[in-house]
Amino acid sequence: MAPLLKIMIVVGAGLGITALSGNAKAEVVGGLYSASVPVADQSEKLRGQAIKEGLGDVFVRLTGTRAVLADPDVRAVLSRAQEYVVEYSYADRAADPSLSSSSTLPSTLNLAVSFSAQPLERMLRQLSLPIWPADRPALMIWLVTRTANGYQFIEPFDKSVLPAGVENALKRRGVPFKVPLYDLQDQMSLTAQQAGEAVEEKLAEATRRYGIDSWLVLLVAETQNSQYQGTWFLGGGTELLRGSVSAGSLQQLIDDSVDPAIDQFSRALTYQAGQLGDEIHLLISNVDSYADFSAVTSILGGHEVVVSTQVTQVVKDLLYLDVVTEGDPQVLVRALDNSSRFTRVAAVGGSAGIGSGEALVFQFEWRVGAW
């Protein structure tokens, strides 16, 4: 009888919580408009199919959800995928291991393809699709295995398909990630068994060290017929989410678990293209110079979700702004929470006598010299 193998993957998501090592940092994700797709050969037919698949991955990466691929308008765009190609090339798959989906092609080739950003950005807005800004919170990955000998962490340098498989799945979705140190402090705050059993308070304690609040736990079991079965849990938010997966390979199970979890995780971080959100008031303290003023207004005005900013008052080191966003303004607030340049001070209802109207007021401190 084949031995039973159980594997848990724990992924923490940075949500701007103050930790021993500082706040979780958001990262500007590059390569959102590029894809790498495995192909069997360099024929024109397979190239066209790979370009279509690659553009589908780009749409998923930009919107944060695989559901976009079922949209009839998006499917129509995918049928004309070659119209949006900027360049493509072939590379040895061993030198470019990032995959465009869970392909099992017996191939040593990848087709690397880049698409034109501006037409696709316009398309997202024309179709009123969700947009996940490139400035995204990092995820932390915990890997745990359970055998007859008990639980233990799988560290990144272990020779296993798990670290590479999870890394590829997150890269394919455009999610920045980190790995824990697995040092004495980690061992004191979280055991492998607690991680594998998704003990929420222990996971919260351990992940806050890295400025991380949410986590994904994946329990995987290999059955006698070489099938893999698993259950994933996404926690740290208002409720614990879960799903069950069955797959013929460990990599397929990883993809089928990470994908729905990221679909859920990204929901709070996306905004609806083409729809104006409510106006909010921002109060930024510690703005002591024109250089600070310029940096604050530049960062806010350059954020993808921001439609307009208006400075209404400057009182000593306090900067008052009215901000209109595209879609839910909370997306901007979460982005500032994840920024190394801002620290949340307060959020209160009503206009509190600043700006105009009864918009919500959010107060942040500008962190001079922080990156």
pLDDT one-digit tens code per residue, 143-169: 877 777 888 888 776 667 778 888 889
What is the band of 238 on the pLDDT scale with cuts at 50, 70, 90? confident
User: Is residue 189's pLDDT more than 90?
Assistant: yes
Stretch 39-58: mean pLDDT, rounded? 96
pLDDT at site 355: 43
With CA atoms as reference, report the closest residue to 118 among 169, 88, 84, 76: 84
Cβ atoms 114, 34 nearer than 8 A: yes
pLDDT at site 23: 45
User: Is residue 91's pLDDT more than 50?
Assistant: yes
Terminal-to-terminal C-alpha distance of the chain: 54
What are the strands, taking DSSP E only, across 20-160? 26-28, 34-39, 85-92, 109-115, 130-131, 135-137, 139-147, 150-153
Residue 309 zone, left/alpha/beta (φ > 0; ψ -120 to 50; rest): beta
- The percentage of the chain sitting over the pLDDT mark of 90, rounded to a whole number, equals 42
Using CA atoms, how far residue 241 sits from 214, 234, 309, in Å, is: 11, 5, 36
Stretch 175-195: mean pLDDT, rounded? 89
pLDDT at site 217: 78
User: Is residue 246's pLDDT more than 60?
Assistant: yes
User: Is residue 364's pLDDT more than 90?
Assistant: yes
User: Is residue 242's pLDDT more than 50?
Assistant: yes
**75: which residues sit within 8 A by CB, 6+ positions away?**
69
Could you identify the residue written with the tokens 């259950």? Answer: 231
CA torsion sign for 279, 280, 281, 286 is: negative
User: Is residue 348's pLDDT more than 80?
Assistant: no
What is the band of 253 on the pLDDT scale with cuts at 50, 70, 90? confident
pLDDT at site 25: 61
Neighbours of 163 (CB within 10 A): 18
256 in helix, strand or coil?
helix
pLDDT at site 115: 98
Q: What is the mean pLDDT of the chain?
A: 83
What is the band of 352 on the pLDDT scale with cuts at 50, 70, 90? very low
What is the band of 50 on the pLDDT scale with cuts at 50, 70, 90? very high
Stretch 354-367: mean pLDDT, rounded? 75
Among 93-102, 104-113, 173-182, name the most confident range: 173-182
Give the pTM.
0.79
Lowest mean pLDDT among 186-190, 223-227, 321-325, 354-358: 354-358
**243 or 51, higher pLDDT:** 51
- The percentage of the chain sitting over the pLDDT mark of 70, rounded to a whole number, equals 83
